[in-house]
């Protein structure tokens, strides 16, 4: 058993671990502090400093005040866009992934291994290989520069992850369970609804957290397929920093960064265990 | 069982109709996913051989687009940067991840809190990470300015705006963001090492360092390979982080392949060349993934034979 006493080596371990923790927390703390400092205060010193008086107005300004191009509605419309993209795309890709994962693992049909193999290739194919075809497809079906277009993309591309997660989970369910239900006359959906879904919550939580985080944080498609008022918050943050490059407003910008990162940070704090499981499930297949 | 007889007697088409929703639910999503992956890849490869500029056009220019991408300064710098960034980032995040995992493996207090701290950057978008690090590393407002304000006038840290060093700022931000991932996998590996082997080593008189070096760490190498491959995959397609941190600058000093693709496709309206650059990215990725897939295949065969 490893040593539990407070020998000098233990103190050294705690010291090193604390230094690492400080380094990992520092950027977050710096942004949090800056989101409460006035622009003048930051301009006089540096980005690293303690707020002299709390400038809560930065958050109001970031949420609904600052201007990008001609519109001055703050980050709010872009947060709404991100929510309107992320929530439906997460739900659709998870549900479809659960049904498909159940089908390829327990129901078995001709060519199931092949099609599963092709779908998981999507984990590796770079986004850049799909950029041009998506642009053309979205334009042809009239969904370019719409939130619906991004929901469609994230739903279809998300299947590579969700089918993988669900399939790996369902493959461990004893086949006898399914066989017995089939002998009793239960069909595909009845078995899914009555047997599979009730035992699926662990993997569905992992899948939802993973998909939500991925889609919320996505930038390349958002910036390529949408412009102006249709953009998700990641693209709006970049547009914001370009827009205020001449007259820096780091206090407001910090508040915007915090707001934009809040949904995924909260999900991570609430479901970190499942987030890590998603990471490792994606890594070790 | 009389029921079964009557169903069997029914025409096959009505059975098909009855099961139509089921087929739709299974096949439509799977086929959409598989079909888009294959057709989009072929589509991009095809465009890379056409003279497309502003819009895709048919035609055949052979490897002309590839030749012009490969001979462009933009791509050459991007490729050199990718080599440097890929190797430095993977090595540093592996080392950091391993050190953190070993430290957390010492049964220390507050392990859960520490793990949460080391992993939270992964939940945040690269856009946010890049933006924050661009502030910290900016000599005008970041760490250098702080040191000057505190009276250390000779302190110098201008990598962000220094052509030769700017790529290292991307390494720093990427390691900060992703080393927690390596830590999580290494920690899982350390925890799964058989306790009997460790005890046997200790009975033989091995100290903690020797035990780690000789007994525990050698079991981690399959995990190490997986981490390397996944981190390399991230490095090859890195876009958001660079876009937010340096936007490829100063000049084109931090250009990476993913930025070249975007630039050619959407800023210079050179679709054919952009597609060629995307295919080149895929080839670089395959150079990493194919050996890995072969290794996994051999591992699995050995596992089933054992």
In the predicted structure, residue A201 carries a pLDDT above the cut 60: yes
Q: Give B99→chain A minimum CA distance, Å.
A: 9
Which pLDDT belongs to residue A45? 82
Which pLDDT belongs to residue B5? 44
Residue A88 and residue A80 in contact, taking contact as beta carbons nearer than 8 Å: no
Whether A46 and B142 lie within 8 Å, measured CB to CB: yes
Which pLDDT belongs to residue A69? 67
The b/e string for B256-265 (b: 16+ C-beta within 10 A; e otherwise) is: bbbbbbbbbb
Which pLDDT belongs to residue B11? 57
**For helices A57-64 and A250-283, what crossing angle results, to 10°?**
70
Tokens of B102: 């070993």
Q: Which pLDDT tens digit goes with each residue over A84-143?
A: 999 999 999 999 999 999 999 888 778 888 999 999 999 999 999 999 999 999 999 999
Which one is predicted more confidently, B239 or A43? B239
Which pLDDT belongs to residue A133? 96
**For helices A250-283 and A8-34, what crossing angle results, to 10°?**
130
DSSP A36: T
In the predicted structure, residue A272 carries a pLDDT above the cut 80: yes
In the predicted structure, residue B71 carries a pLDDT above the cut 90: yes
Contacts of B12 by beta carbon, 8 Å cutoff, 6+ apart: none
Which pLDDT belongs to residue A68? 72
Residue spans of alpha helices (H) in chain B: 2-9, 12-18, 20-48, 64-71, 73-104, 111-119, 126-137, 143-149, 166-191, 195-203, 208-210, 221-236, 240-245, 257-262, 271-305
The dihedral formed by the CA atoms of B294, B296, B299 and B305, expressed in degrees to the nearest 10: -90
**A244: confidence class by pLDDT, cuts 50, 70, 90:** confident
Which pLDDT belongs to residue A269? 94
In the predicted structure, residue A43 carries a pLDDT above the cut 90: no
Q: Residue A227 region, left (φ>0) first, then alpha (ψ -120 to 50), else beta? A: beta
Taking a contact as any Cβ pair under 8 Å apart, which residues of chain A between 22 and 61 contact chain B?
23-28, 30-31, 34, 42, 45-49
Which pLDDT belongs to residue B116? 95
Question: Could you write out the DSSP letters of every residue in A131-175?
Answer: HHHHHHHHHHTT-TTSHHHHHHHHHHHHHHHHHHHHHHHHTTS-H
Candidates A133, A184, A231: best to mutate against B (most CBs of B within 10 A) is A133
Q: Give B181→chain A minimum CA distance, Å.
A: 8
Lowest mean pLDDT among B149-163, B254-268, B275-289: B149-163
Which pLDDT belongs to residue B227? 94
Which pLDDT belongs to residue A285? 45
Tokens of A124: 């590796």
Residue of A nearest to B106 (CA): A2
Three-class SS state of A121:
helix
Residue of B nearest to A218 (CA): B125
Nearest CB among B125, B266, B279 relative to A219 is that of: B125
Nearest CB among A136, A156, A264 relative to B36 is that of: A156
Lowest mean pLDDT among A30-44, A96-110, B136-150, B198-212: B198-212
Q: Give B164→chain A minimum CA distance, Å.
A: 24
Which one is predicted more confidently, A283 or B235? B235
Which pLDDT belongs to residue A283? 64
Give percent above pLDDT 90 in chain A: 66
Taking a contact as any Cβ pair under 8 Å apart, which residues of chain A between 150 and 209 contact chain B?
156-157, 159-160, 163, 187-189
In the predicted structure, residue A1 carries a pLDDT above the cut 80: no
Whole-angstrom Cα distance, residue B50 to residue B65? 8
In the predicted structure, residue B100 carries a pLDDT above the cut 80: yes
**Residue A104: how many other CB atoms lie within 10 Å:** 24
In the predicted structure, residue B215 carries a pLDDT above the cut 50: yes
Tokens of B47: 């465009």
In the predicted structure, residue B23 carries a pLDDT above the cut 90: no
**A187: confidence class by pLDDT, cuts 50, 70, 90:** confident
Whole-angstrom Cα distance, residue B130 to residue B122? 13
In the predicted structure, residue B214 carries a pLDDT above the cut 80: yes
Nearest CB among B38, B116, B181 relative to A272 is that of: B116
Q: What is the mean pLDDT of residues A145-160?
A: 96
Whole-angstrom Cα distance, residue B120 to residue A265? 7
Q: Which residues of B touch A159 (CB under 8 A)?
A: 29-30, 32-33
Give percent above pLDDT 70 in chain A: 95
Q: Which residues of B touch A122 (CB under 8 A)?
A: 33, 37
Calculate the average pLDDT of chain A.
90
Q: Which residues of B touch A248 (CB under 8 A)?
A: 141
Q: Does the interface ipTM go beyond 0.90? A: yes
Q: Which pLDDT tens digit goes with each residue over A47-72?
A: 888 888 888 999 999 999 887 767 78
Whole-angstrom Cα distance, residue A65 to residue A68? 10
Q: Give B165→chain A minimum CA distance, Å.
A: 21
Whether B19 and A21 lie within 8 Å, measured CB to CB: no
Q: Which residues of B touch A240 (CB under 8 A)?
A: none
Question: Could you write out the DSSP letters of every residue in B116-169?
Answer: HHHHGGGGS-HHHHHHHHHHHH-TTTSHHHHHHHTT-TT----GGG-TTTHHHH
**Residue A254: how many other CB atoms lie within 10 Å:** 26
In the predicted structure, residue B80 carries a pLDDT above the cut 80: yes
Q: Which residues of A touch B266 (CB under 8 A)?
A: 224
**B2: confidence class by pLDDT, cuts 50, 70, 90:** very low
Give percent above pLDDT 70 in chain B: 96
pTM equals 0.93
H or E element that contains A130: helix A128-140
């Amino acid at each position: 058993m490893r040593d539990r006493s407070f020998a000098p080596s233990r103190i050294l371990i705690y010291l090193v671990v604390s230094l690492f923790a400080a380094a990992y927390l520092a950027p977050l703390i710096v942004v949090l502090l800056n989101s409460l400092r006035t622009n003048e205060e930051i301009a006089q010193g540096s980005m690293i400093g303690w707020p002299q008086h709390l400038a809560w107005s930065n958050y109001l300004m970031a949420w609904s005040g600052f201007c990008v191009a001609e519109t001055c509605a703050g980050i709010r419309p872009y947060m709404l866009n991100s929510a309107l993209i992320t929530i439906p795309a997460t739900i659709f890709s998870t549900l479809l992934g659960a049904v498909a994962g159940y089908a390829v693992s327990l129901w078995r049909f001709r060519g199931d291994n092949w099609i599963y193999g092709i779908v998981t290739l999507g984990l590796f194919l770079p986004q850049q290989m799909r950029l041009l075809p998506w642009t053309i497809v979205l334009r042809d079906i009239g969904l370019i520069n719409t939130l619906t277009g991004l929901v469609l993309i994230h739903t279809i591309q998300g299947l590579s992850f969700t089918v993988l997660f669900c399939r790996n989970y369902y493959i461990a369910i004893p086949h006898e369970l399914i066989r017995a239900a089939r002998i009793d006359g239960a069909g595909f959906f009845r078995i899914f609804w009555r047997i599979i879904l009730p035992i699926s919550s662990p993997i569905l939580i992992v899948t939802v957290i993973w998909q939500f985080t991925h889609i919320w944080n996505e930038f390349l498609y958002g910036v390529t397929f949408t412009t102006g008022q249709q953009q998700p918050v990641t693209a709006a943050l970049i547009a914001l920093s370009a827009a205020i490059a001449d007259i820096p407003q780091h206090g407001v910008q910090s508040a915007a960064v915090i707001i934009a990162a809040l949904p995924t940070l909260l999900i991570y704090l609430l479901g970190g265990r499942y987030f890590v499981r998603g990471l490792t499930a994606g890594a070790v297949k | 069982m009389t029921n079964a007889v009557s169903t069997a007697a029914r025409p096959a088409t009505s059975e098909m109709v009855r099961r139509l929703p089921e087929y739709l639910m299974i096949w439509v999503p799977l086929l959409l996913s598989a079909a888009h992956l294959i057709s989009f890849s072929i589509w991009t490869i095809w465009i890379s051989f056409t003279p497309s500029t502003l819009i895709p056009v048919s035609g055949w220019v052979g490897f002309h687009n590839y030749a012009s991408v490969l001979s462009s300064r933009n791509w050459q710098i991007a490729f050199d940067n990718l080599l440097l960034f890929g190797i430095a980032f993977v090595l540093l995040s592996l080392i950091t991840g391993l050190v953190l995992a070993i430290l957390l493996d010492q049964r220390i207090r507050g392990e859960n809190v520490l793990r949460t701290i080391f992993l939270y950057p992964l939940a945040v978008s690269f856009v946010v990470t890049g933006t924050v690090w661009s502030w910290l590393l900016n000599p005008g407002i970041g760490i250098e300015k702080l040191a000057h304000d505190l009276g250390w006038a000779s302190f110098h840290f201008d990598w962000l705006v220094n052509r030769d060093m700017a790529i290292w700022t991307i390494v720093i931000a990427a390691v900060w963001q992703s080393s927690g991932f390596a830590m999580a996998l290494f920690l899982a590996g350390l925890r799964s090492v058989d306790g009997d082997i460790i005890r046997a080593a200790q009975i033989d008189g091995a100290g903690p360092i020797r035990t780690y070096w000789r007994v525990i760490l050698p079991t981690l190498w399959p995990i190490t390979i997986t981490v390397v491959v996944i981190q390399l995959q991230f490095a090859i397609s890195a876009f958001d982080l660079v876009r937010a941190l340096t936007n490829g600058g100063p000049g084109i000093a931090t250009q990476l392949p993913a930025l070249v693709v975007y630039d050619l496709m959407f800023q210079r309206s050179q679709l054919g060349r952009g597609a060629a650059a995307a295919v080149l990215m895929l080839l670089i990725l395959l150079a990493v993934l194919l050996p890995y897939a072969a290794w996994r295949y051999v591992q699995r065969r050995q596992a089933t034979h054992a």
